[in-house]
Amino acid sequence: ENLLTVVVWPGKIVLTDSVTDGRIRWRAPGKGISRIYTITTAPGYVIHPEHGNKLLDVYFNRFEERMDDAGRAGMNYFFQDELAYPIHMLTWSDDFSEEFIRRKGYDIVPYLPALKESIGPVTPRVRMDYCEVLMDLSEERYYKPIYQWHADRGLMYGCDNLSRGKDPTAYIDYFRAMSWFTAPGNDAPARGSSFLETKISSSIAHLYSRPRTWLEAFHSMGWGSSGAWLTDQIDHHFVAGGNLVCMHGLYYSTHGGWWEWAPPDFHFRMPYWPHMKRWLDYTERMSFILSQGSHVCDIALVYPTETIQAYPGTKPDGVFDLALKLSNSGLDFDFVDFRSLRDASIEERELRMADERYKVLILADMEAMHHSSLTRALAFYRAGGIVLAMGRLPRATSAKGEKDPEVEAILRELFGLTATEVAAGKPAKKQVNAAGGVGWYIPEAPERQVAGLITPDF
C-alpha cells in the first residue's frame, strides 16, 4: 500500500508533511473532537486506461480471429451475464486525483473521508462528484471500448447484470453502466413478473436509443411451468417494454436437476413441447412489432441513483412502490437518469429526451440530486410543465451539498415548501404559475392525481 494523504476533519487539515518515520506529529486543538484519516492506495486495474482494450484483446478479438465466415454469419450478438466488474465507492487509480481536478475543479484527496463517513454539509456533494468522475472513467476506459467494438461490427450486445436495476448504485451507477449495452436487459426470477427490472431496462433503451430490451427467460421457474404460465410471464415483459426473448438453456441430462436453480428445460421433456413452436412464433411476432417505431409515454420518474450515492443505506422502495402504482393505475412511464434530464430540451410544455416526450416529471424520495436535475425541473415548471413530488424532498445537491439557500429557494418555488418543512409535517398546496406550470408535493398516492392533470396517451 502507498500513503496518499493524512487529513484531519473537521477543518480539512492536511498532515502528510507531518509524517516522520511512520509517525504523525500534530497537536490537536483544545476543543472538540478531531478525527485523523490515514488514506492509502493499492494497485488496481478497474479503471486502468487500457482495461477495456485489454479485454477486447484477450476475449472478444479471439472470436473474430478464429471463426470462419460461416460462423461469423450465424453469430449476431454477445450476451453479458452477471458482470463481475469490481468497481465500488473506494475505487482509485494513479491518475484519479488529476482527472477529478480537471473535471470538477477541486482536489478531492482532502475530502476522501467523506466516502466513509460524514464530514459535514459538503459530504453529499463530494460523494456525488466522486461517483460521477468514477463513472466517467469507467465509461471511457471499460464500457465504451467494448460497446464500440460491437457497434463497429453490427453486433448486438445484450446483458443480464447484477441487481437488475433494483440497486441503483450497482456498478456505481446502474443506469449509466447499462446504457453501454445495445440491448440492456435482465433475467426473470422464479414466479415473479420481473416488471420493475424490465421497466428499468426498457427505460435505459428508450433514453439511450438502444433498439432492443433483452429478457433472459426464465430463471428458477422449476419443473411445474406450463404454456399458460410462460405466456403470462412473457406478457408482463412485453408490457414493461421488452422486445427480445432469450430462453435459458437446454440441459443434455437431468442428472442433478432436483437441485438446479436455473430453468430445468423448455424442450422435449416438457408436456407443452408439441405446442412450443406456436408459442415461440408468438414471442417472435410480438418482439418484432414492439421493436418498431418509438415508445410513447407521458411520465418521467427520476431514478434514485444520487440519493443512494449521497446517503448510503437509503432504500429505493418509495420510488419503486410508486412505479408499480403508476403501472397498476394504467399510467405508463419511464425511469430517467440525471444525464437524460440534464440534457433534455423543453418544448410545448414537454420534457424531450431522445424520442420521448414527457408531460409530467416526478421526484419520489429524491433526498439528493445533481444540481442540474433540480434546475432542469425548475425550468420545466417555469415553461408550463408539471412537476410532482412525494416522500423526501432534496436536502442536498451536487452544487454545495446540504444547507444550500439556492436549493431551498428552488423547492419553495416548485412546491411551496422545503425538505425541512416536509419533514416537520407542513401541509403542501398545489403551485400554479403564470405559464400554466404545476408544482405539487403530494404526500400520498400521486398516481391518483395524474389523470386530473393530463389526458394519458393511451
Got the DSSP string for 318-349?
Answer: HHHHHHHHHHHTT--EEEE-HHHHHT-EEETT
- pLDDT band of 451, cuts 50, 70, 90: confident
Query: What mean pLDDT comes out for the span 25-51?
Result: 93
Given a contact cutoff of 8 angstroms between Cβ atoms, the answer to whether 131 and 406 are in contact is no
Closest CA to 363 of 424, 446, 436, 453: 446
Percent of the chain with pLDDT over 90: 82
The length of the chain, given as a count of residues: 458
Given a contact cutoff of 8 angstroms between Cβ atoms, the answer to whether 414 and 387 are in contact is yes
Take residue 35 and report the three cell numbers written for it.
Answer: 478525527
Residue 247: pLDDT above 90?
A: no
Distance CA 427, CA 417 (A): 9
Task: Please give the residue that has the higher pLDDT: either 32 or 109.
Answer: 109
Take residue 385 and report the three cell numbers written for it.
Answer: 410543465
The residues, any chain, with a CB within 8 Å of residue 296's CB and separated by 6 or more, are 356, 357, 457, 458
The residues, any chain, with a CB within 8 Å of residue 439's CB and separated by 6 or more, are 381, 387, 388, 413, 414, 415, 416, 430, 431, 432, 433
Q: Which amino acid is at 359?
A: K
Query: What mean pLDDT comes out for the span 299-306?
Result: 99
Take residue 150 and report the three cell numbers written for it.
Answer: 460491437
Task: Please give the residue that has the higher pLDDT: either 226 or 185.
Answer: 185
Closest CA to 213 of 250, 191, 240: 240
- pLDDT band of 270, cuts 50, 70, 90: confident
- pLDDT band of 191, cuts 50, 70, 90: low
**What is the bridge-based pairing of β-strands 350-353 and 345-347?**
antiparallel
Residue 307: pLDDT above 80?
A: yes
Query: What mean pLDDT comes out for the span 302-316?
Result: 98
Distance CA 16, CA 13 (A): 9
CA atoms within a 13 Å half-sphere pointing along the CA-CB vector of 267 = 10
pLDDT of 293 reads: 92
Instruction: Give the three-class secondary structure for 380.
Output: helix
pLDDT of 75 reads: 87
Closest CA to 47 of 88, 4, 93: 93
Closest CA to 361 of 281, 453, 285, 295: 453
pLDDT of 71 reads: 87
Distance CA 255, CA 249 (A): 15
With residues binned 3-state (H G I as helix, E B as strand, rest as coil), the percentages for the chain, rounded to 5, are: 40, 20, 45
Inter-CA distances, 281 with 192, 213, 244, 352, 376, Å: 24, 18, 13, 35, 44
Q: What is the pLDDT of residues 85-117, one digit of tens each?
A: 999 999 999 999 999 999 999 999 999 999 999
Distance CA 151, CA 163 (A): 25
Distance CA 320, CA 367 (A): 15
Closest CA to 112 of 46, 172, 40: 40
Distance CA 445, CA 279 (A): 38
Q: How far apart are the first and last CA of the chain?
A: 59
Distance CA 2, CA 40 (A): 5
CA atoms within a 13 Å half-sphere pointing along the CA-CB vector of 450 = 29
- pLDDT band of 84, cuts 50, 70, 90: very high
Q: Which amino acid is at 384?
A: G
Distance CA 193, CA 217 (A): 11
Write out 105-168 in H/E/C secondary structure: CCCCHHHHHHHCCCCCCCHHHHHHHHHHHHHHHHHHHHHHHHHHHHHHCCCEEEEECCCCCCCC
296 Ramachandran zone, left/alpha/beta (phi>0; psi -120 to 50): beta
The residues, any chain, with a CB within 8 Å of residue 55's CB and separated by 6 or more, are 142, 145, 146
Q: What is the pLDDT of residues 146-183, one digit of tens each?
A: 999 999 999 999 999 999 999 999 999 999 999 999 99
Peptide bond into 10 cis (omega under 30): yes
Average confidence score pLDDT of the chain = 94
